[in-house]
A = this chain, B = another copy of it.
């Protein structure tokens, strides 16, 4: 019989418990598939006493995750604690330095320290894997790194925060305001302790930065992600977008341009009939476009015990089978620093503002757009409400720079009585 692969699991929340359950309940299946038994040597968590619905008696206990990570009887350190720094980082570093392989679900850790950790893994001959960090159960890291390795990647897109998609879906389907939908998501326990991680786009931005590093061969650059949350999206935007055949999603988009790496995580309009537009509720979707393969769409649960544990176990099984791929798909030493480019790829935009009830108001706005080189595709002015007329504009393709110039000019107009909101229309 082959040697068992011995896991040390740090963090026994929902996902950690899910992993323990799979290892216990599917031992025969896992061994048949990987060719060797998968065993757990030791575990670690903040509280030992808690009832997790699964027996931990046969595993050694470590209070200190660093001690766990470096145990002689641990081959793979499974990090499910979370947090970009602190114990998670210390333990992953310790594990890699000790030559252990590491499997983690920690997007924040990798978004902030991915390059350093990849270098550390490479220096030790360890593998560092993170399928569960991006889009939950969808095996997208594997698809991008391995399955599509013959492609030059053109664009990567994703709806990767189920909570935001839930809020936007509830606003659309249930006619709720943002605040109402937010409160509902909160009551259902969907929000992170710090909700700006979700609704500010930070969590999804972490994930996008990891995909971009693999796709474009750059060092992970979370600071290069242009972040915009969903807090400014109104129910009127959602309705107007729907009228025009679009839906609003918190969409991550990354592409490599002549001026550098574009990474943006922002509310965008996508065609209602596209796979991204049809996505509802908490489901995640990642779209990968390669020069050979065209468009690949992957859809599945982005969170939860089973889906996330499935992704962790996919990585564990790869290690058990002896698959060893560089963290971001190529040697860490070959990843180039990302030059952040603010979205320069021209796109159509959706603009919303309010005009004072004065003659020529609309003409002034149209002139401001025209002077910035932004041409108007569609424009609608609605009935005045208390001397203010809502105005919607869909532009033809324009650069963000030209748009920003137009927005600046618009804000200086006395007739523009509400700060204009601009959302990109992503062609998918």
Q: CB distance A310 to B293 under 8 Å?
A: yes
Contacts of A347 in B (CB 8 A): none
Is residue A180 contacting chain B, with contact meaning CB distance below 8 A? no
Cβ of A292 and Cβ of B146 under 8 Å apart? no
Given known A298-B298, A330-B32, contact A309–B150 (CB-CB < 8 A)? yes
Residue ID in chain B nearest A294 by CB atoms = B301
**A143 contacts across to B, CB distance below 8 A:** 139, 142-143, 147
Query: Is the CB of A331 closer than 8 A to any CB of chain B?
Result: yes
**Interface assignment of A217: CB less than 8 Å from any CB of chain B:** yes
Nearest to A131 among chain B residues (CB) is B147
Residues A32 and B307 in contact, CB atoms below 8 Å apart: no
Q: Does A149 contact B (CB under 8 A)?
A: yes
**Per-position 1/0 for A316-331, Cβ under 8 A of B:** 1110011111100111
Contacts of A33 in B (CB 8 A): 149, 329-330
Q: How far is the CB of A365 from chain B (nearest CB, A)?
A: 38
Nearest neighbor of A290 in chain B, beta-carbon distance = B310
A150 near B297: Cβ-Cβ < 8 Å: no
Q: Is the Cβ of A309 less than 8 Å from the Cβ of B292?
A: yes
A296 at the interface (CB under 8 A from B): yes
**A34 and B149 in contact, given A142-B142, A299-B275 (Cβ under 8 angstroms):** yes
* Whole-angstrom distance between the Cβ of A103 and the nearest chain B Cβ: 11
Question: Given the complex, which residues of B lie within 8 Å of A149, measured CB to CB?
Answer: 30, 33-34, 313-314, 317-318
Contact with B along A152-168 (1 / 0, CB 8 A): 10000000000000000
Report yes or no: A299 in contact with B297, Cβ–Cβ below 8 A.
Answer: yes
Residues 246-299 of A at the B interface (beta carbon under 8 Å):
275, 278, 290-299
Q: Tell whether, in the assembled complex, residue B306 and residue A32 are in contact, meaning their CB atoms are under 8 Å apart.
A: no
List the B residue with the shortest CB-CB distance to A19: B150
A282 to chain B, nearest CB (A): 11
Shortest Cβ distance from residue A138 to the other chain B in the assembled complex, whole angstroms? 6
A314 proximity list for chain B (CB < 8 A): 146-150
Whether B330 pairs with A138 at a CB distance below 8 angstroms is: no
Residue in chain B with minimal CB distance to A138: B296
Q: Which residues of B sit under 8 angstroms from A18, Cβ to Cβ?
A: 292
Asked if A300 is at the interface of the complex by the 8 Å CB criterion, the answer is yes
- In the complex, whether A137 has a CB less than 8 A from a CB of chain B is yes
Is A142 a contact of B146 with CB atoms below 8 Å?
Answer: yes
CA A49 – CA B157 in complex, angstroms?
A: 43
Q: Which residues of B contact A317 (CB under 8 A)?
A: 146, 149-150
Does A339 touch B at the CB level, under 8 Å? no
A26 at the interface (CB under 8 A from B): yes
Q: Which residues of B contact A306 (CB under 8 A)?
A: 291-294
**A151 contacts chain B at the CB level, 8 A cutoff:** yes
Q: For residue A313, which residues in chain B have a CB less than 8 angstroms away from its CB?
A: 149-151, 292
Distance, CA A299 to CA B307, complexed state (A): 19
Indicate whether A372 reaches chain B with its CB closer than 8 angstroms. Answer: no
A334 interfacial contact with B, CB 8 Å: yes
A176 close to chain B: CB less than 8 A:
no
In the complex, the answer to whether A307 meets B293 with C-beta atoms within 8 Å is yes
Specify which chain B residues have a CB less than 8 angstroms from the CB of A131 in the assembled complex: 147
Q: Is the CB of A137 within 8 A of B299?
A: no
Q: Flag whether A35 is at the interface (Cβ < 8 A).
A: yes
**CB distance A152 to B322 under 8 Å?**
no
A217 touches B22 (CB 8 A): no
A294 to B305, CA, bound (A): 11
Bound-complex Cα distance A201 to B260 (A):
47
Residue numbers of A with Cβ under 8 A of B are 18, 22, 26, 29-30, 32-35, 131, 137-139, 142-143, 146-152, 217, 275, 278, 290-301, 304, 306-307, 309-314, 316-318, 321-326, 329-331, 334
* 21 A-B pairs with C-beta separation under 8 A: A26-B150, A32-B334, A33-B149, A34-B149, A35-B330, A137-B290, A139-B143, A139-B296, A142-B142, A150-B314, A151-B313, A293-B300, A293-B311, A294-B301, A294-B306, A295-B301, A297-B297, A297-B300, A299-B299, A321-B325, A323-B323
| A-B CB proximity, top 3 nearest | A139-B147, A150-B313, A137-B293
